[in-house]
A and B are shown apart, each in its own frame.
Chain A
Amino acid sequence: MRIWLTLLLALLVLAGCGEPPPAALRVGVSPWVGYDPLVLARDNRLLDAERVRVIELGSSTECARALSNGTLDAAALSLDEALRLADEGAALKIVAVLDVSRAAAAIVAGSGITSAAQLRGKRIALEQTALGTLVLDRLLQAGGLQTSDVTLIQVEVTHHEAVLTDGRADVVITFEPIRSRLLAHGHSEILPSRPGQIDDVLVVSQRSWLAQRAQLRELLAGWEGSRRVLADDPQSVAALLAPATDLTPAQYLSALTGVSLQSLADSVRWLEGEPAPLAEHAAPLVHSLLRLGLIRSSPNWPVLLDGKLASETHAIMAGRRK
């Protein structure tokens, strides 16, 4: 009997030794300056690349697609995009609020167009996202126009600058840093975003939320760390990150002025409570999304929101500081 037990124990040890390292958490970010603290965390090695990989993709559409397809485990998305994905049936959790932008989404027009009313018969380029649709809705309402009064060109954000510059579109619905680059090239903004309209959140697949919690905490800690670095030394950060946006460091910092990066404590405040403050805050957005048919039903907020990860990470970081 002792021989058998020894053999079994040896096999268990053998089996235990073969446990593979956990798969890296893949986090997608689109080219939005509000997400750059995640990029900064990666490039400043605040994140272990073998455990958390921040991947810069071409657009939020691509991020959303990759997340729903399972090639990403998490993604930084606008809240409306997150709600649309959840409404489509994707099993998601919103675990942090990354930023609240006051003037990040922008409607930039080519020469000669100064108001929404001039858009009849014009070509409007936008990314096919909930955010793009919402801003378009505001734009059309402001100009007293119907969708049929304009020509819509579905273009991903990386091509916004090109289509406006080469005249393939008269107006683009875009955001930073393209907004700043277009304004720098002499284009004008015809309808600024309303303050606090757009919230960006960190969305996690249910699978990763269950299986990769440690890595998610590392990601949130990385966010918080780089957010502080950015707050403490914005010049250096701008020098590091701006080249990839084709902005000067000054332009980069200017682009960030409209973005309020949220701390983990902020996330906890947004996400915890019954009802959660984010749910109340997003009520107008939800109403618009429902009205535009971008979602079919109101979000199930208790299921969608999880402030626990941010709370845990915040507590861990607070403990370390002590």
Chain B
Amino acid sequence: MSWHPVHALPVRLLVPLVLFLLALGVATTNHLIQMRAMVKDVEMDSAQRLSERLGIAQTHLRIELGLGNRWQVRRLVSGLALHDGVTHAWLADGENYVIAALARPELQRPLAEVLARQSAPLRQAAHDALSEKETFIHIHTVAGETALLGHVTIFPQHRLLVRVDLGEQLAARTHALRSELWRETAAIILLAALLAALLHALWFSRAARITATVTDLGSGQIDARARLHGHDELAEIGGAIDRMADELQARQSQLRQLESLVIHSPVVIITWRNLPNRPVTYVSENIRQWGYSPADLLSGKLQYADLIHHADLPRLDVDVAEHHVHGPDEYRQEYRLRHADGHWLWIDDRSWLTRDANGAVTNISGVLADISERHRLEEAQQQQSALLSQRNEELERFNRVMVGRELDMIRLKEQINELSRQLGRAPPFAVNLTDVPQIAPATAQPAGTPDEKGRDA
């Protein structure tokens, strides 16, 4: 069921309207029930009154017919029209001739002829009435008409038929009931208006203030406050909103400070949503240091991935996918990012993942730092290290050559010394081997350790 149409109206109008419609519905239902009861009531009441009138007429007509006073008989019958709703009255004699009626042209006519000019329902009702043999009063409903037909036998063969139309009574009572409905409705409208005014004063004006406050807060006017007094629910809601706004304002102030810090730092804050193409949902203002505006990235005009060096992308994708699936949710990456002017920056990207209740990654936040300088230094250092290493190798090679020659000289001198000893001569050379093992143990090994050599020497 859609409640949308109901929500189209503000509650301050909806509540009195619903109340009004509800009360109107109740009043209308009540009116319809009363109408039905009223119709029955009118029929019963009219039947009762007709019976009473016929009873009186029966008595008077019996007397006057007994006296033979036809004049008075006619006047008694014609006088029945004085009573509300009596439209027809016929007094027929034993030969079924009309001897008294409300209209003079009907006098001295056969009753059948007079009835023939009447409506079919009235004829039928009269026929039914005349077929009754009892002398007491009978009241018939004229089917199809809002009317009654009374019948009574008078002295001994006269028949009095009286038709009473209920239309006028019903119309008057209906009007009275409708007037009552109208008064009830007017009272309801007044009550609804009073209730609306009361609700407006007590509730809706305060609710409107809350709505306006929330709307202002929603539109960024963080200093908006409801400031509702009292202890009712609305005051509590207003107080809660004000406290929330205070909190929000404080946090916003902190955020602004933080943002200011971020803006003035070399670190760029960025947030991506974990969706295809990784749309950027936030990027700090200081990304301008790399030649881009936040709007370029937030609007999707630039894709962050397009700024990454194509050679680094596969490695990063694999790495990120690994973290998404297996964690950890905090990781660090280094890659090259193209500056707006075209040169490449080395970025230290320290990211962390935000997951929903099911563990799915919803957002990726990152702190980006330009480490191009560090990289440059590292590269320079590496280059210097390589150069030193190369020099060292050259020195070692030189040393090895020099030591080899020295050792060869020592061996030659030792051989000379040996030959000299063998010849009985004093060795001509003093041999010092103390440096040999220290300079090139590998090359010196064949000649033994310096200590051994020294000892030997």
Contacts and interface: CB of A to CB of B under 8 A. Distances in A.
A31 interface: yes
Contacts of B179: 15, 18
Given A21-B171, A28-B82, A42 B103 contact: yes
Interface stretch (A50-58, A208-216, A267-275): A50-58
A246 B70 contact: yes
A56 B174 CA distance: 30
Interface in B392-425: none
Contacts of B104: 39, 43, 240-241, 243-244
Nearest to B193: A4
B175 A20 contact: yes
Given A18-B174, A158-B71, A240-B104, A55 B13 contact: no
Interface stretch (B72-80, B110-118, B128-136, B222-230): B72-80
Interface in A132-184: 158-159, 161-162
A55 B82 contact: yes
A240 B105 contact: yes
B71 A62 contact: no
B326 to A, nearest CB: 62
B333 to A, nearest CB: 63
Contacts of B87: 49
B81 A162 contact: no
A246 B103 contact: no
A72 interface: yes
B75 A158 contact: yes
Contacts of A31: 71, 75
Interface string A6-29: 011001001100111101101010
Given A23-B168, A58-B75, A159 B17 contact: no
Contact of A56 (B13, B70, B78): B78
A246 B104 CA distance: 12
Contact of B182 (A11, A21, A23, A39): A11
B209 to A, nearest CB: 22
Contacts of B182: 11, 14-15, 18
A220 to B, nearest CB: 20
Nearest to A245: B71
A162 B69 contact: yes
Given A3-B13, A28-B82, A159 B72 contact: yes
B1 interface: no
A222 to B, nearest CB: 14
Contact of B20 (A7, A53, A158, A246): A7
A158 B79 CA distance: 13
A72 B82 contact: yes
Contacts of A257: none
Contacts of B72: 58, 158-159
Given A71-B82, A243-B107, A8 B178 contact: no
B108 interface: yes
Contact of A43 (B69, B81, B103, B189): B103
A41 to B, nearest CB: 12
Contacts of B6: none
A66 interface: yes
A115 B130 CA distance: 53
Interface in B14-39: 17, 20
B316 interface: no
Contacts of B174: 18, 20
Interface size class of A (residues with CB under 8 A): 35 or more
Contacts of B78: 55-57
A72 B104 CA distance: 20
A23 B167 CA distance: 11
A33 B409 CA distance: 186
A158 B175 contact: no
A173 to B, nearest CB: 17
A20 B79 contact: no
A18 B75 contact: no
B67 interface: yes
A94 B13 CA distance: 58
Contacts of A72: 82
B434 interface: no
A75 to B, nearest CB: 11
Contacts of A62: 79
B172 interface: yes
A104 to B, nearest CB: 17
Contacts of A57: 75, 78-79, 82
Nearest to A44: B105
A56 B69 contact: no
A266 B187 CA distance: 53
B249 interface: no
Contacts of A246: 70-71
B107 A3 contact: no
B211 to A, nearest CB: 20
Interface in B48-89: 67, 69-72, 74-76, 78-79, 81-82, 87
A8 B70 CA distance: 59
Contacts of A14: 178, 182
29 contacts: A7-B189, A11-B182, A14-B178, A18-B174, A18-B182, A20-B174, A21-B171, A28-B82, A31-B71, A39-B104, A42-B103, A43-B105, A53-B81, A55-B81, A56-B81, A57-B79, A58-B72, A58-B75, A62-B79, A66-B82, A72-B82, A159-B69, A159-B72, A162-B67, A162-B69, A243-B104, A244-B74, A244-B104, A244-B107
The 7 tightest CB contacts between A and B, nearest first, are A18-B178, A20-B175, A56-B78, A58-B75, A20-B171, A158-B72, A55-B81
Given A55-B82, A56-B79, A57-B75, 18 more contacts: A15-B178, A15-B182, A18-B179, A18-B182, A21-B168, A23-B172, A24-B168, A26-B82, A55-B79, A57-B79, A57-B82, A71-B82, A158-B72, A162-B67, A162-B69, A240-B104, A241-B104, A246-B71
